[in-house]
């Protein structure tokens, strides 16, 4: 019997393996503004047609291709890896309506945003978000977005309408001259939308007064029971063959009468369904104890997404499954991985976010940091997972708030001194007592 080893990449399927859309929840009433923020005037409702679920397929496909590409950029890191490609993609979906030129083209290429028409992007993204949410006794998945704008700045009307009016993101003005208070405010929002599983996403030192202009955040939280729970009494201490050597782990086990199973060259794949049948955890298990490197090297973004698609129609088999209990907490700064995937302009003066903020043209705004924190807990009852992503944006030059102008009205006699600045020598001096009258 093949030893059951769960590679770190199995976690990708939690958000990507949705098989049927959950019923759309009722719209929530607008929340009261948080303390310390200035609410932005509510936009007028926008009459837009809701796309069909089929229309969201290019966005799902783009996210899944991005998922494997991101894993490839991170796989050289030692230890467990757990990221949420959906949370990253969602955060950039908030930014995309404000991007232009090559910056927008690169963003669309990395995340697959160009799979839907630009004028329907916001509503299609919102439709996808609504489809993946779940709220039952056994399965919950929430998606929340927010845009935290520097006090004194104003979003361009089309961007605000897309992000707040259509995509339903929270929008608030924040005083970034107080980094600790601003970070606490945003981090509290993240905690509230991840069931208190993600803490301190934004370090206060990452907020730079005079430069930080905008922080976009996304939070995803998932909690579900297994369709076929593991029995706690069947969990035993057993050997897990880690790269660093054999370790003792808590190994859960059960025999499933019917489970979708595929055997491919060098690995097998198994779907473990969650209650309600809307979500599954796809476990990709190398045949060899040390085979993960070879399996990952042979995998591509395209073959990964093909595998996930094939799992939906895979034949059901009787399977004895052994799975370790898993708990992972991870944090990432994603600038370098995203640049490596083709998002170079957005982090440099070549960035074009000219559709974002009033008065900011091409090259005026850049991404300073992309941060993500994640949480995963797999036990006999089910799975809880959470992720939060932040895109931090800065001005390319220090922003000095406009002061009230000093009144200097020379409408009466005055003196003048024309001087040589390097030496301080006054070359001419005089008095203006009466200027020439204006000609008719």
Q: pLDDT tens for residues 112-168?
A: 999 999 999 999 999 999 999 999 999 999 999 999 999 999 999 999 999 999 999
Residues 432, 182: Cα–Cα separation, whole Å? 52
H/E stretch holding 340 reads helix 335-340
Structural tokens at position 145: 């977005």
Residue 364 has pLDDT above 50, yes or no: yes
Tokens of 125: 């993204």
How many other β-carbons are positioned within 10 Å of the β-carbon of residue 235? 18
The pLDDT of residue 401 is 56
Between the CA atoms of 64, 352, 94 and 173, what dihedral angle is there, to the nearest 10 degrees?
Answer: 150
User: Under 8 Å CB-to-CB from 154, ≥6 apart: which residues?
Assistant: 357, 358
Q: Which residues contact 33 (CB under 8 A, 6 or more apart)?
A: 39, 172
What mean pLDDT do residues 64-70 have? 94
Whether pLDDT at 2 is above 90: no
Please check whether residue 186 is in contact with residue 148, taking contact to mean a CB–CB distance below 8 angstroms.
Answer: yes
H helical segments located in 75-162: 85-95, 101-111, 121-132, 157-160
All structural domains of the chain with their residue ranges: 8-225+326-395
Q: What's the mean pLDDT in 58-62? A: 94
Is the model's pLDDT at 399 over the cut of 90? Answer: no
Residue-level pLDDT at 52: 85
Cβ pair 139, 278 in contact under 8 A: yes
pLDDT confidence of 9, banded at 50, 70, 90?
A: very low
Closest listed residue to residue 94, CA positions, set 166, 27, 17 = 166
- Asked if pLDDT for residue 24 goes beyond 70, the answer is no
CATH number (3.30.70.100, 3.30.497.10, 3.30.70.1140, 1.20.910.10) of 8-225+326-395 reads 3.30.497.10
Q: For tokens 């490596």, name the residue.
A: 340
Question: Does the model's pTM come out above 0.85?
Answer: no
Whether 318 and 250 have beta carbons less than 8 Å apart is answered as no
- Contact indicator for 141, 384 with CB cutoff of 8 Å: no
């Amino acid at each position: 019997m093949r030893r059951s080893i769960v590679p770190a990449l199995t976690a990708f399927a939690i958000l990507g393996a949705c098989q049927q859309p959950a019923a759309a929840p009722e719209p929530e009433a607008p929340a009261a503004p948080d303390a310390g923020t200035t609410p932005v005037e509510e936009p007028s409702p926008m009459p837009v047609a809701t796309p069909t679920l089929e229309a969201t397929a290019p966005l799902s496909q783009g996210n899944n291709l991005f998922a494997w590409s991101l894993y490839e950029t991170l796989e050289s890191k030692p230890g467990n890896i757990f990221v949420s490609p959906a949370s990253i993609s969602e955060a950039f979906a908030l930014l995309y309506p404000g991007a232009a030129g090559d910056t927008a083209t690169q963003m669309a290429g990395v995340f697959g945003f160009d799979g839907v028409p630009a004028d329907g992007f916001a509503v299609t993204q919102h439709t996808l978000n609504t489809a993946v949410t779940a709220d039952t006794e056994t399965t919950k998945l929430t998606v929340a977005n927010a845009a935290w704008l520097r006090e004194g700045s104003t979003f361009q009307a089309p961007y605000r309408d897309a992000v707040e009016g259509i995509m339903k993101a929270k929008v608030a003005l924040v005083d970034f001259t107080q980094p600790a208070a601003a970070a606490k405010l945003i981090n509290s929002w993240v905690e509230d939308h991840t069931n208190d599983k993600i803490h301190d996403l934004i370090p206060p030192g990452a907020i730079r007064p005079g430069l930080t202009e905008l922080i976009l955040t996304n939070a995803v939280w998932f909690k579900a029971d297994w369709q076929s729970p593991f029995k706690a009494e069947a969990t035993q201490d057993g050997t897990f063959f880690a790269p660093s050597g054999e370790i003792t782990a808590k190994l859960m086990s059960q025999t499933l009468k019917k489970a979708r199973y595929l055997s491919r060259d060098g690995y097998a794949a198994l779907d473990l369904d969650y209650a309600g049948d809307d979500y599954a955890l796809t476990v990709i298990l190398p045949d060899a104890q040390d085979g993960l490197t070879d399996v990952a090297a042979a995998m591509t973004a395209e073959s990964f997404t093909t595998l996930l698609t094939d799992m939906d129609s895979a034949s059901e088999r009787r399977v004895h499954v052994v799975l370790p209990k898993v708990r992972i907490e991870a944090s990432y700064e994603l600038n370098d991985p995203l640049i490596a995937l083709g998002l170079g302009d957005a982090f440099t003066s070549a960035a074009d976010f000219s559709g974002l903020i009033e008065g900011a043209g091409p090259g005026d705004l850049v991404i300073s940091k992309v941060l993500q924190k994640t949480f995963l807990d797999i036990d006999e009852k089910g799975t809880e997972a959470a992720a939060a992503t932040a895109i931090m944006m800065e001005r390319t030059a220090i922003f000095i708030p406009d002061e009230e102008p000093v009144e200097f009205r020379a409408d009466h006699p005055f003196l003048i001194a024309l001087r040589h600045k390097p030496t301080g020598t006054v070359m001419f001096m005089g008095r203006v007592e009466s200027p020439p009258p204006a000609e008719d």
